[in-house]
């Protein structure tokens, strides 16, 4: 359909303002056998936008491995579920709140946390940990500080109040996010295997119940806003950002968990993006039934709300449930106890239609299958750009560079400096089960009342993805896997948050396709499937897209918490070893970017066999109690990792290394590497075991003193390292 032969009564501009393409409108008319009314148009707009329909990404997402021995629920529900033994399960998901957080950072980030928490407790799990992955623009960009303060404040404000610890995350700065920051929030919850709740409606005639907060006019078209690019007038979209109320969410959490102990809930779905529309349609579609709703019954915050507004509001802290009719009064009494709204607003039907009434008049009647199965799905054109070429650096390129002063510059840079300023604003200890606090490779929380723990890590290196989307996709997965291994946990599964630019541009779609391919290969090899996730496209401003950012949240299990590892060096006299091969890969490293302001040289390639071999070796050594501390060698390379271990443990080290190309060794970002601390009486066993496993192992030096000293090069006092590491945020 082109705009010249428009022959419908509905105004073309109305269709376009709902984010629908003209041929998509034609599809609606074909499905309904008539033109939709305004409420129906709004519903289609809410269901068929990119955010809710995954229309550009679905085809590719299906290629990711999603099953495994421990997977109980893969993608498609509110959150994924894995088995963590003893009848316990971990429920988790990560979700983006990018567009709203750029418009209104505090509320955007806060409601991002609120939304992902609901996704997890909807499944019957008590949330036990929040994590996040954040990207901001150039640290010197005029908006950056305001956005960082707002986002950190919003994440803390919501998590602290509801009383779920925010135990870690990651933060990056890069100019590609100047116009589109990324706020990805992850929640992990714990439930019993036989008490998981799903969203498929069932039982013709059963009541459909609305619980939580009242519905207001906030957030109308939020999901549609999140499915389009920004331009200079984007500030005007601020009213589409919702406002969070963590106190009400706390009540909703407790009320839902209390009701879940009773045999009352048949289906439950959180009202997130596209509110009442997507929740009711999702429940009906999954159950292959219809739903009738009387909108006059919806608890309203504002007077004279229309059907259109009620269906599209994204007011927060609301849930939709189908319950056992006999349990209605019990359920009502629980929600009343918690001072929450509880209203029967409709019933499950056999019509397979969503039918809405208000004030006695029919407002909408749409077959569910048109909305869901017939939703547009695109296999968009894509171009895979050649990876940026590899550059082989040599010792002579760095002869005039001082390693110690380079190290200080690196650890004081916003991308590598201490994040303490951020996580001290998050309550990371409430619930009293936090075992490893923020600042190590992975956060660890105890499964309440047991001696086992969950390790969680979020990661992604967008620069790697930009210059080689395939290896970058692999890297994001592997980096979380390695972080989890370094904490002493067996990695189990991941959730992903796919943040990209406009998928209608073939090169952006090419980045997406390649990242997925890399992620899929890594997940398959490591037996580390994807169990939930979210896609955020159109992260562009004035035609300028962000770097491809497939943020990964990984989860692992520590069976015995006494095997938990942290990065802080423990004791003088112990020896630090490097595990894994070093090949001086400086391409696209933090060294080049921070010290030489260069972004080239190629993404390091990842050998998945080595990853698996070295990771297993680390876990074996931990099980044999050979190691005192472990740190994955990631951003910044070996020397930055050593500095982090020293700062964290307040221990010095005497590095005794002879290399032809010290810069390459200290700052190269080769993969599959770990630093491990070993006591003198275990050195021999470590070396013997490494040789048996054919794992490369190198002695770095002996722990002790108050400085990092490098033979023949020089030394730097710990106090100076700490000052440099904390300076940037302290002066924020």
Residues annotated catalytic, as ranges: 51, 97
> For residues 241 and 340, which CB has a smaller minimum distance to another protein in the complex?
340
Q: Give how far Cα 701 sits from Cα of 31, 424, 578, 654, 704, Å.
A: 71, 32, 10, 5, 10
For the bound state, the minimum distance from the C-beta of residue 185 to another protein, rounded and expressed in Å, comes to 17
d(CA 365, CA 422): 48
d(CA 660, CA 412): 27
> For residues 481 and 728, which CB has a smaller minimum distance to another protein in the complex?
728
Find the Cα–Cα–Cα–Cα dihedral 660, 663, 664, 669, rounded to 10°.
Answer: 150
d(CA 132, CA 158): 13
> For residues 187 and 495, which CB has a smaller minimum distance to another protein in the complex?
187
- The strand pairing partners of 578, in sequence order, are 675, 698
For the bound state, the minimum distance from the C-beta of residue 76 to another protein, rounded and expressed in Å, comes to 31
For the bound state, the minimum distance from the C-beta of residue 153 to another protein, rounded and expressed in Å, comes to 8
For the bound state, the minimum distance from the C-beta of residue 330 to another protein, rounded and expressed in Å, comes to 17
> For residues 535 and 557, which CB has a smaller minimum distance to another protein in the complex?
557
Nearest to 228 by CA among 244, 213, 211, 240: 240
- The strand pairing partners of 458, in sequence order, are 553
Give me the residues that bind another protein (CB under 8 A), please.
153, 156-157, 160-163, 245-248, 250-251, 338-339, 423-435, 437, 446, 561
3-class SS letters over 529-585: CEEEEEEECCCEECCEECCCEEEEEEEEEECCHHHCCCCCCCCCCCEEEEECCCCCC
H or E element at residue 14: helix 12-17
d(CA 646, CA 567): 9
d(CA 685, CA 655): 21
> For residues 433 and 540, which CB has a smaller minimum distance to another protein in the complex?
433
> For residues 250 and 696, which CB has a smaller minimum distance to another protein in the complex?
250
For the bound state, the minimum distance from the C-beta of residue 433 to another protein, rounded and expressed in Å, comes to 8
For the bound state, the minimum distance from the C-beta of residue 339 to another protein, rounded and expressed in Å, comes to 7
The distance in angstroms from the start CA to the end CA of the chain is: 53
> For residues 134 and 291, which CB has a smaller minimum distance to another protein in the complex?
134
H or E element at residue 134: strand 126-136
The Cβ of residue 653 has, within 10 Å, a number of other Cβ atoms equal to 28
> Where do the DSSP E strands lie in 376-526?
434-436, 443-446, 453-459, 490-499
């Amino acid at each position: 359909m082109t705009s010249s032969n428009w022959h419908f009564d509905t105004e073309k501009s109305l269709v376009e303002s709902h984010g629908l393409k003209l041929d998509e409108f034609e599809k609606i008319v074909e499905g309904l056998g008539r033109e939709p009314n305004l409420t129906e148009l709004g519903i289609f707009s809410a269901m068929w936008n990119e955010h809710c329909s995954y229309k550009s990404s679905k085809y590719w997402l299906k290629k990711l491995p999603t099953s495994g021995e421990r997977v109980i629920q893969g993608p498609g529900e509110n959150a994924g579920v894995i088995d963590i033994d003893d009848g316990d399960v971990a429920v988790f998901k990560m979700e983006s709140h990018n567009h709203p957080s750029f418009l209104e950072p505090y509320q955007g980030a806060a409601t991002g946390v609120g939304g992902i928490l609901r996704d997890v407790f909807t499944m019957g799990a008590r949330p036990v940990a929040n994590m996040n992955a954040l990207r901001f623009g150039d640290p010197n960009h005029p908006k950056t500080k305001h956005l960082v303060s707002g986002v950190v404040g919003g994440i803390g404000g919501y998590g602290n109040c509801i009383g779920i610890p925010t135990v870690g995350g990651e933060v990056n700065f890069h100019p590609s996010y100047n116009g589109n920051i990324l706020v990805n929030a992850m929640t992990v919850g714990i439930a019993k295997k036989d008490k998981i709740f799903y969203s498929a409606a069932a039982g013709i005639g059963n009541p459909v119940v609305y619980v939580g907060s009242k519905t207001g006019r906030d957030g109308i078209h939020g999901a549609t806003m999140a499915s389009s690019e920004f331009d200079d007038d984007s500030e005007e979209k601020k009213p589409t950002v919702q406002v969070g109320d963590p106190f009400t969410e706390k009540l909703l959490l407790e009320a839902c968990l209390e009701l879940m102990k009773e045999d009352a809930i048949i289906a439950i779905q959180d009202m997130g993006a596209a509110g009442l529309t997507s929740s009711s349609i999702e429940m009906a579609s999954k159950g292959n039934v219809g739903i009738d709703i009387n909108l006059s019954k919806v608890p309203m915050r504002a007077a004279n709300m229309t059907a259109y507004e009620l269906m599209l509001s994204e007011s927060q802290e609301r849930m939709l449930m189908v319950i056992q009719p006999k349990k209605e009064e019990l359920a009502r009494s629980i929600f009343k106890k918690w001072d929450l709204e509880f209203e029967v607003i409709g019933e499950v039907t056999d019509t397979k239609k969503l039918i809405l009434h208000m004030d006695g008049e029919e407002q909408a009647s749409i077959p569910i299958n048109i909305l869901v199965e017939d939703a547009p799905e695109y296999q968009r054109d894509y171009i895979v750009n050649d990876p940026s070429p590899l550059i082989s650096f040599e010792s002579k390129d760095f002869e005039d560079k001082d390693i110690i002063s380079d190290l200080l510059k690196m650890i004081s840079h916003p991308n590598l400096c201490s994040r303490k300023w951020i996580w001290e604003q998050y309550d990371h200890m409430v619930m009293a089960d936090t075992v490893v606090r923020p600042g190590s490779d992975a956060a660890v929380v105890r499964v309440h009342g047991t001696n086992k723990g969950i390790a969680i890590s979020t990661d992604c290196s967008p620069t790697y993805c930009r210059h080689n989307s395939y290896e970058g996709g692999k890297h994001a997965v592997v980096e979380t896997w390695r972080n989890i291994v370094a904490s002493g946990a067996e990695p189990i599964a991941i959730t992903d948050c796919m943040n990209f630019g406009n998928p209608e541009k073939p090169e952006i779609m090419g980045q997406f396709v390649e990242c997925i391919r890399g992620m899929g290969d890594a997940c398959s090899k490591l037996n580390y499937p994807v169990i939930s996730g979210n896609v955020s496209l159109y992260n562009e401003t004035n035609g300028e897209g962000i770097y491809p950012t497939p943020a990964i949240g990984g989860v692992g299990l520590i069976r015995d918490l006494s095997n938990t590892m942290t990065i802080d060096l423990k004791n003088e006299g112990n020896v630090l070893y490097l595990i894994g091969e070093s090949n001086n890969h400086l391409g696209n490293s933090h060294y080049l970017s921070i010290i030489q302001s260069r972004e080239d040289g190629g993404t390091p390639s990842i050998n998945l066999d080595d990853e698996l071999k070295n990771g297993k070796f680390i876990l074996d050594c931990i099980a044999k109690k050979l190691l005192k501390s472990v740190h994955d060698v990631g951003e910044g390379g070996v020397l930055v990792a050593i500095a982090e271990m020293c700062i964290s443990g307040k221990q010095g080290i005497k590095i005794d290394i002879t290399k032809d190309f010290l810069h390459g060794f200290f700052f190269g970002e080769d993969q599959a590497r770990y630093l491990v601390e070993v006591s003198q009486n275990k050195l021999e066993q470590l070396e013997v075991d490494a040789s048996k496993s054919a794992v490369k192992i190198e002695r770095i030096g002996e722990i002790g003193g108050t400085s990092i000293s490098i033979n023949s090069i020089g030394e730097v006092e710990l106090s100076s390292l700490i000052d440099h590491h904390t300076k940037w945020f302290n002066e924020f």
